[in-house]
Structure 1
């Protein structure tokens, strides 16, 4: 078949190479990193972006932001989402033609990933075995473009929830301990070692805010062992080292298995922090919506099931 020449006006879409250079430079934070990814020289990347700016008649990058870094101008910030989205669509289409599915990347912090998310991602992957699933550990709100993340589960203070956030769940806090310690601990909290996580802006994670409720003595602070992360607190509690302030749903599996027990079945407080879903504005993987719906359903189940199990066991 012979293709006829077109008489339509010349396209205003810039060359793909210049758009790729622009996106990679912003995502990776510099010309040298972009050059390495694109397998060209640093000067070639700079030349491509200069040509793109000349073609569009607008400055896209600020090249003097600190120690040799780059920053987006207003025009660059306006262009970037469309370029990133278009390149993402092209990548997915080419992958399909080649028979290599585009990977789906999920980010979350370490504690949440290991205690709640990892098993569920494996279950989701089993439903869609043709799509590679990539789970990475990141604290805080990720740079979606730089880390190539499709969806992030972010742990934030309830006061910081944005209008476009999808709240997965708010944590629930209550005292827990190992089964062998439970008979003694439930009657004499003040005589037990207290395990505590260091966490900013979360008063419910600190034993001093439970002092009156348990009648803790004035010198109770000497009984506290402080840890930098919740995984350490959890390990110590499961090992029978003392009483911890557990966080549901992170301890869901430990309550189900009996490795941990609630000290008092009806005693709990809502946490100051919650987990929210945030998606990359320029990345729209075909399995993004199915994954979000799967996680929403999973998040809706555990709390009620754990409470029912605890009541049935007389915990």
Structure 2
């Protein structure tokens, strides 16, 4: 134990990395910024290695190779200490789940609230993150990540593969079901997802050469869904994300039977060392919910249309 640095220096290091700066770490630890800097400098002297690169900008820092090696162990140790102290005090540790914004808003948020209602003794924290999760920095127990099918790892738990098909609001349905080319087309900007681009559906619907002028592009799927519900145009819907909108009738599926598989997957990744007691029950609950949402009866649609018109 004589080789373990003072706890205060380890806390200062972890907080500075997690919060992205000395000033934020100081505010959380209720000390001065210079105290945080002093603690980290002392830690580096004790270990004989530089842990952080300090920027000349406003509080900017970045991990060195040595710092990156140290951070996971420090984060796990502090988490274990926090959990042990919480148990003694009778306060359960918070269960933290991360996912991107569209998935959180359209599918995950309601289900996390339902899971929390089943386990009212445990605080639950839902955060929105895009890309690869930083488990240590954000204290994440379970991350739901949207990745291309080619990037799924052996240890990933696939939550579901999406199905893509045209949808619109009920007010637009009478026109959209007969003349797609006369409607505004709503499109999400997404890399390596040809099924989400209207140009790859153009031949099927007999769209005119200048159909690109009818496309409105959005940076997120939530925006696409909101516009479609409001009657702004036809969207390429992603099931199960729009399962609730289909069930409620806020969105109607066009041309039953017409769909394409998505190129991306939602997968679940768990913190390998910091295992929350409710992690496995949560994973099982979400997998059950995903199976129900992807079932055939979760895809209501309007009555089949005799033919797809071009409106010409």
Q: Please report the TM-score for the alignment, with normalisation by the length of structure 1.
A: 0.86
User: Which residue is equivalent to 1:4?
Assistant: none
Q: 1:131 aligns with which of 117, 122, 126?
A: 122
Q: Give me the whole-angstrom Cα distance separating, in 2, the residues matched to 1:178 and 1:70.
A: 48
Distance in 1 between the 2:174 and 2:276 partners? 51
CA distance change for structure 1 residues 60 and 23 in 2, over 3 Å: closer, same or farther? farther
| Paired residues, number | 304
Alignment of structure 1 residues 100-111 onto 2, 5 Å: 100-111=91-102
List runs of 5+ in structure 1 lacking aligned partners. 1-9
How do 1:156-305 and structure 2 match up within 5 A? Answer: 156-305=147-296
1:281 deviates by 4.1
Deviation at 1:280, TM superposition (A): 3.2
Secondary structure of the 1:240 match is coil
Partners of 1:77 and 1:225 in 2: CA distance: 43
Distance 1:232-1:63 versus aligned 2 partners, 3 A rule: closer
What do the CA deviations read for 1:142-161 (whole angstroms, capped 9, x no partner)?
Answer: 33333332222222222333
Q: Hey, what does 2:24 align to over in structure 1?
A: 33
Q: How far, CA to CA, are the matches of 1:185 and 1:71 in structure 2?
A: 52
Counterparts of 1:222 and 1:55 in 2: how far apart (Å)?
A: 64
- Comparing 73-82 with 17-26, greater Cα deviation is found at 73-82
Say whether the 8 Å CA contact 1:59–1:73 is kept in structure 2.
no
Kindly provide the CA deviation profile for residues 167-210 of structure 1, in whole angstroms up to 9, marking residues without a partner as x: 21222110112334434422322233322222233221121110
Out of 122, 134, 139, which is 1:143 matched to? Answer: 134
Could you say what secondary structure the match of 2:262 adopts?
strand
RMSD after superposition: 2.5
Q: Secondary structure at the match of 2:294?
A: helix
The 1-side partners of 2:110 and 2:288 are apart by 14
CA apart distance, 1:30: 2.8
Q: TM-score, normalised by structure 2?
A: 0.87
Could you list the runs of 4 or more consecutive aligned residues of structure 1 that deviate by over 4 angstroms after TM superposition? 307-311
The answer for the alignment partner of 1:59 in structure 2 is 49
1:65-80 equivalence runs, <5 A: 67=57, 69-80=60-71
Distance in 2 (CA, whole Å) between partners of 1:305 and 1:124 is: 24
**Is 2:149–2:263's contact at 8 Å kept on the other side of the alignment?**
yes
Instruction: Name 1:44's counterpart in structure 2.
Output: 35
How far did residue 63 of structure 1 move?
Answer: 2.8
Match of 1:90 in 2: 81
Instruction: Provide structure 2 residue ranges, at least 5 long, that are not aligned to the other structure.
Output: 306-312
Q: Which has the larger radius of gyration?
A: 1
Checking the alignment, whether the CA contact within 8 Å between 1:256 and 1:306 is kept in structure 2 is no
Shift, 1:81, TM fit: 1.3
